[in-house]
Amino acid sequence: MQPFELSLTEASRAVRARELSPVELTESVLARIHAVEGRLSAYVTVTADAALAAAARAEREICAGGLRGPLHGIPMALKDLIDAAGMPTTASSHVRAGHVAERDSWVAQRLDAAGTVLLGKTHTHEFAYGLITPQTHNAWDHSRVAGGSSGGSAVAVAAGEATFAMGTDTGGSIRVPAALNGVVGLKPTYGLVPRTGVTSLSWSLDHVGPLTRTVQDAALVLSAIAGHDPRDPASVSGPMLDRFPGGDLRGLKVGVPRNHYFDRVAPETEESVRGAIERLAELGAELVAVEVPMARYVQAVQWGLMVPEATAYHERSLRATPDRYAADVRLLLEAGELTSAGDYLRAQRARTMMRDAWARMFDGIDVLAAPTVPMTAVEAGQEAVEWADGTTETVSDSYVRLCAPANITGVPALTLPVGHDRAGLPVGMQLMARPFHDATVLRVGRVYEESVACAGRLAPLPA
C-alpha cells in the first residue's frame, strides 16, 4: 500500500509511530495528484513547494517530540471558498480574479495550528451556487458529475489526491458530492464550526465541514475545527468533542422515514440504504418508523431563504460586473432580486416551525437514517430525471431534496457509503440527530463502518 492510499486515521497512526514521515506522505499524495489530476480536475491550484516545506517543518517538530495531535503532518485541501492567508480565494469564479486572502479563515487557522499540510484549493460550483461542479469529473466514472458544490474536495479525497479536505454545505454541498464519490461527508450542527473567512452563499444555511475516507477521520477533523469565534454571529459554544466511542448500538433508536426520504428514489439506492438500516438493527439498534414533519414545505423554505440571501451577498458585484458570472449562477442571483421581504420573512417563520417540529420528532429517536441523495451520479450534461410516478425533476432539485432539511433545521448530518448500483457507482446513507449531537451520528456511522468490508476504499480510477 502506498502512503496516499492511507486514511487519515491510518496515516496519523503511522506518523505517530515514526513508520511514515510527513514528507513521505506528502510526496506520495503530490505524486498521486500529478498522476490523476489531468483526468479529474479537482484542484484550482496545487501549492506543491509550500506543502513540502510544511511537511518538512512538521517532520522536524515531530522528531523533536512536538507532536501537536492526530492531524500533525497530514496533507489536506481546502475548498476554494475558504481563505488561507496569501492564497487566492477564487470561488471558481471570474468575479474573484486577482483576489488574495489577507488572513486565514477560522478553519484554516485551526488546521494550521493542528499541524496539517495544505496542498492547495479545490474546485467548487461557482460561489457554491449549484450541485454539479461542472469543471470536475466524478472519481468513479469520469463521464459523470462530481456533485457539488464541494465537488473538488470530494473527488480529491476519493481519488487519493488529499488525505482529507474541507467543504461547505448550504443545501447538501458536502453530502451530495461525498455520496456521489463514495466518501464520508459531515455537515456539523449549525454554528458548531465558525464560518469566519469563508465566502458565503446563504448565511443562515451555510455550514463548514470535512470530507474524509472514514467516519473516524471525520471525527478527528471535527475535533480540531469546532469552537467558538465571536466574529461569526452564528458561532456557539457547543459540547466537547474529544470522544467518539464505537461499540455496538444497543439502546439506540433509529428513525426510519415513512415519507419524503424514500419518495422518488432510485430502486437501487433504496435497496442499499434499507439494507444498511437493517444492518444497524443487527448491530443492536431499535428501528422506529417516523413521519418527517412539514416535508411538503422543504423546497419552498430552502429556496425562500437561500435565494434572497445569496443575492444580497452578491448585490454590488452583480451590478458592477454581471458578465463575469456563469449564466446559471447569474440567473439565480437575478431571480433573487424579485423575492419580496414578505416571502423571505414567511420562509424564516416556516423554518422556525420546522425546527420545532423536528425537535419533537427527535424526542422519540436518537438518529434519523435515510438516503443522502435519491440517485447515483448522473451523466454530465443531464439536466433532468423522470421518476416512476411520471414526474420530472431537475438534477439539482433532485440532489438537494433529501439534504436540505438538515440545513433548514441546523441538525448534524453525516453521509457514508453503503453500497453501489449496477453501474458500480457509490450509494450514500445519511444519518441525522438533534442539534449538537454530532457525536451520536459519528458513533452510529463508525459502528456501521466497522461492521462492513472495504471502508475507506479509494475510487478504482480507470486506466
pLDDT tens for 323-380 read 999 999 999 999 999 999 999 999 999 999 999 999 999 999 999 999 999 999 999 9
- State residue 460's pLDDT score: 94
Indicate the pLDDT class of residue 35, thresholds 50, 70 and 90.
very high
More confident residue, 310 or 248: 310
Indicate the pLDDT class of residue 247, thresholds 50, 70 and 90.
confident
- Per-residue pLDDT for 240 more than 80? no
- Per-residue pLDDT for 95 more than 70? yes
Q: Residue 139 and residue 124: Cα distance in Å, rounded?
A: 15
- State residue 455's pLDDT score: 85
- Per-residue pLDDT for 245 more than 90? no
What topology is assigned to 3-228 in CATH? Answer: Amidase signature (AS) enzymes (3.90.1300)
Mean pLDDT of 107-123: 98
Digit-coded pLDDT (tens) for 191-220: 999 999 999 999 999 999 999 999 999 999
- Per-residue pLDDT for 239 more than 80? no
Indicate the pLDDT class of residue 237, thresholds 50, 70 and 90.
confident
Q: Residue 188 and residue 407: Cα distance in Å, rounded?
A: 10
- State residue 244's pLDDT score: 61
Q: Whose grid coordinates read 431563504?
A: 305
Least confident of 213-227, 263-277, 406-420, 449-463: 449-463
High-pLDDT (> 70) share of the chain, % = 98
List the one residue out of 206, 240, 243 whose CA is nearest residue 226: 240
Is residue 172 within 8 Å of 299, Cβ to Cβ?
A: no
- State residue 243's pLDDT score: 59
Digit-coded pLDDT (tens) for 139-196: 999 999 999 999 999 999 999 999 999 999 999 999 999 999 999 999 999 999 999 9
The torsion defined by the Cα of 134, 136, 139 and 142, in degrees rounded to 10, comes to 70
Helix (H) or strand (E) holding 429, with range, is strand 426-432
Residues annotated catalytic, as ranges: 79, 149, 173
- State residue 108's pLDDT score: 98
State the alpha helices, DSSP H only, in 76-231.
106-113, 151-158, 175-180, 215-225
Q: Residue 175 and residue 300: Cα distance in Å, rounded?
A: 20
Is residue 32 within 8 Å of 6, Cβ to Cβ?
A: no
- Side-chain-side CA neighbours of 146 within 13 Å: the count stands at 31
- State residue 242's pLDDT score: 55
pTM here is 0.97
The length of the chain is 463
State yes or no: cis peptide before 149, omega within 30 of 0: yes
Q: Residue 90 and residue 23: Cα distance in Å, rounded?
A: 28
Q: Residue 33 and residue 26: Cα distance in Å, rounded?
A: 10
Is residue 58 within 8 Å of 33, Cβ to Cβ?
A: no
